[in-house]
Amino acid sequence: MKTVSLKLAKKLKANGYPQDAGLWYRIDKEDPNSEDVMLMNDPFESSRFDWCPSPTADEILAGLPCFVTNEQGFEHQIRIQKTEEEQWEIWYIYRWNDEDFLIGDEVFSDIFLADAAAKCWLYLKEKKLF
């Protein structure tokens, strides 16, 4: 089961992503560069470790809206695909007169679906689109 990277997990936490993940990064305060993932429902209190939720792709995708509305009032629908280059891509699209318009001209991509989904969630949160 793939979860988001530690870097994205920290950004999600800082930006208000729900803190109820089943997987958590355990960060050793004495060696903050070391990391491991533990399957836990509730991290235990410890003076030695910090904890950061590490959601899976399923958890993040379940929290993404099916539609978002841009500043002009156009509703964009979510699209997800895996490219021939083995990249996952997520974007929101509005189709008008046989032309596609991306919300913010953004496509969120990564070799891991969880990380692409996290990038999308962070963008939507930053732009207050949900």
- Write the pLDDT tens digit of every residue in 100-125: 888 888 999 999 999 999 999 999 99
Q: In the prediction, which pLDDT does 68 show? A: 95
pLDDT of residue 83: 96
Helix, strand or coil for residue 51?
strand
How do residues 82-103 score in pLDDT, each as one tens digit? 999 999 999 999 988 888 888 8
Q: What is the pLDDT of residues 30-83, one digit of tens each?
A: 876 776 666 666 677 777 788 888 899 999 999 999 999 988 899 999 999 999
Cβ contact 21:54 at 8 Å = yes
In terms of pTM, does the model score above 0.85? yes
pLDDT of residue 121: 97
Between residues 27 and 14, the one the model is more confident about: 14
Q: Which pLDDT value is given to residue 29?
A: 79
Q: Report the pLDDT value the prediction gives residue 85, as an integer from 0 to 100.
A: 95
Residue 34 makes CB contacts below 8 A (sequence gap 6+) with: 27, 28
> Does 1 score more than 70 pLDDT?
no
DSSP type of residue 38: E
Residue 120 has a pLDDT of 97
